[in-house]
Chains A and B, each alone.
Chain A
Amino acid sequence: MVDWLSDPWQFEFMRRALLAGVFVAIACSVVGAFVVVKGLAFLGDAVAHSSLAGAAVAFVAGGGSLMINVGAIIAAVLTAVGVSALTSGGRLREDTAIALLFAALFAFGVLLISRTRNYALELNSFIVGNILSVGTSDLVLMGGLTVVIVALVVYFYPELLYASYDPEMAAATGIPVGLVQTGLLVLVALASVIAFRLVGVVLVMAMLVAPATSASLLVRRIPGLMATGAILGIVATVAGLYGSYYGGVAAGPAIVMASIAIFVAVFVIAPRGLLASFR
């Protein structure tokens, strides 16, 4: 039994994947708390997908791991800012703006990658993630970004909370609500860039939404939601990596499935969950 539990961790790539998963869980739940309570899931999904365009530009230009991440960050942030710009003044509905940017940048990313020799293989690692590709420099970047995200959310928590809960009152107090909302989108962009190496662009949204949603059924305040979400995300990462190791399946989807399984369990047994409504 002990061997069964410890066996996977003798491998360097498994230990790296675990550390990456911890960063992803923390960053995604801290940002995901706002994504869930503000209903920004579709936006988070779009930001994650469009990061592919930036990653692809860096990749095709022959950039290394660091440049690919930087490219992804730039594309994701541009999408976040672009959605704000397209919807300001009521020019476009938000979901329309998101869909257009999402499609444009994702298609552009796939287009660029389709010019490379190992098209299917390369595309696959972007889309569903590849834990074998998480190198030391990636871990440093992921860790650094996680620290930056947590620091920004802690420091700007009053503004983020007020502008999310009651934008009108926040504006009346003198808080620059538009700027805070764009800032939140940029945080979503940073978190999805951390996550896409591990679970791929397609499944980033699951990491942003699933642990935070499970947590929202268990706790009553946002800080608790963030902490609980991070713990559930880490549990899902560990479970997913075991599943991947022993089941011989891709790690990213295994982590996401574990996350979803936790959500289903919480949804059924939580104090405000499915079972409670039958009592």
Chain B
Amino acid sequence: MSESPATGTAIEVTGLSSGYGRHAALEGVSFKAPLGNLVGLLGSNGSGKSTLLKTIIGLLPTWAGEVRLLDRPVDEVRARIGYMPQAEDVDWSFPVTVRDVVAMGLIEPGFGPRRLFRRSSRRVDEALKLIGISDLAGRRVGELSGGQQRRTLLARTLIKAPDVLLLDEPTAGLDISSEEEFLQIIQGLARDGRTVLVATHDISCVQRVYDYALCLNRTVVAFGPPATTLTSDTLAATFGRHLLHLGGGEVAEPHVAHQGNQ
């Protein structure tokens, strides 16, 4: 990846623990992602990938440790952070159009002389165009394909031009060509100096195009450039299962990779 003009730390996580109820899903997670990079968050189902993203953005409480984004506490930079949930977590039967969903990304909390839901603003049009879904603007979200649903969510995430993006399995369940298109969009974002943290199962893709790999199994197994980080020992410790070995010692996706995705 080319050198980004921006310098500094985009995501800094120190000794982070978190979970649901009394069940700890993450313990002692630490890593530091520099600005303008594409970071692949790898781990099997239940390894705490979603929990980590949700704790970083503040949707889950921090039990211990600290999260800093753009060298500040999360609450101070919330407007500069974009988060995209798993498509399975979204209610697709809701009576809203693609344009409505993308425009939701502009909604800001608080009172003041703001207001009215500006669904026809220029920024909505730009976000739709950037992601290539302008022709779907008037479609009800329930009528979209899986790839179109994810593009809609990504357009909403991007509308405020965030500096840091946290994407939860944005390509799960997509066919190969949609996945490739999605990847190109994400790569373009990183080239523009944005930092993109992507939870994914796709080891080979992280090896190919990402700047960093973050291997998670309730805690950080390894963090660094994919070429040196994704060793077979690391992957075994990350996925905790038998891995499929290809010729030349390359490691491909484990058997467990796509469990539970529609």
On whether A37 and B109 interact (CB within 8 A), knowing A161-B117, A165-B104, the answer reads no
A184 to chain B, nearest CB (A): 15
A17 to B239, CA, bound (A): 68
1/0 per position for B71-84, CB-CB distance to A under 8 A? 00001001000010
Bound CA–CA A173/B105 (angstroms) = 8
Chief secondary structure at chain B's binding surface: loop
| A175 close to chain B: CB less than 8 A | yes
Q: Which of B21, B83, B116, B117 contacts A172 (CB 8 A)?
A: B83
- CB-based contact B95/A220 at 8 Å: yes
Q: A168-B85, A221-B100 are in contact. Are A158 and B107 (CB under 8 A)?
A: yes
**Also in contact, A165 and B107, with CB within 8 A (given A157-B117, A158-B115, A172-B57):** no
Which residues of chain A have C-beta atoms less than 8 A from B104's C-beta? 158, 161-162, 165-166, 169
A18 on the interface (CB 8 Å rule)?
Answer: no
Residue among B21, B90, B95 facing the most chain A CB atoms (10 A cut-off): B95
Interfacial chain B residues near A166, Cβ < 8 Å: 85, 90-91, 104
Asked if A165 and B101 sit within 8 Å, CB to CB, the answer is: yes
Contact bitstring A140-183, B, C-beta under 8 A = 1, else 0:
00000000000000010111011011101111111110000000
**Min C-beta distance of B59 to chain A, whole Å:** 6
Report chain A residues within 8 Å CB of B97. Answer: 220-221
Interface flag for B240 (CB, 8 Å): no
- Least CB separation from B111: chain A residue: A155
Q: Which residues of B contact A169 (CB under 8 A)?
A: 83, 85, 104, 156
A175 to B117, CA, bound (A): 15
Give complex CA distance A48, B190 in Å: 53
- Chain A at the B interface: SS class: helix
For residue B65, CB closer than 8 A to chain A, the reply is no
Query: B103-115 CB contact bits vs A (8 Å, 1 = yes)?
Result: 0100111000001
The yes or no answer to A222 lying at the interface (CB within 8 A) is: yes
Set B57, B78, B91, B116: member contacting A165, Cβ < 8 A: B91
- Determine if A216 is an interface residue (Cβ-Cβ < 8 Å): yes
Chain B residue, CB-CB nearest to A219? B95
Q: How far is the CA of A90 from the CA of B20 in the complex (A)?
A: 12
Q: In the assembly, what is the distance between CA of A217 and CA of B54, in Å? A: 35
**Are A165's CB and B96's CB within 8 A?**
yes
Is B107 a contact of A221 with CB atoms below 8 Å? no
Indicate whether A173 sits within 8 Å of B95 (C-beta atoms), given known contacts A157-B117, A168-B59, A168-B89: no
Residues of A within 8 A of B109 (CB): 159, 173-176
* Minimum distance in angstroms from A93 CB to a CB of chain B: 15
Mask: chain A, 179-198; 1 = CB below 8 Å from B; 0 = not: 00000000000000000000
Interface on A for B, CB 8 Å cutoff?
Answer: 37, 90, 155, 157-159, 161-162, 164-166, 168-176, 216, 219-222, 225
Beyond A165-B91, A169-B83, 9 additional contacts (C-beta under 8 Å) are A90-B21, A158-B117, A161-B96, A166-B85, A168-B54, A174-B75, A175-B109, A220-B95, A221-B95
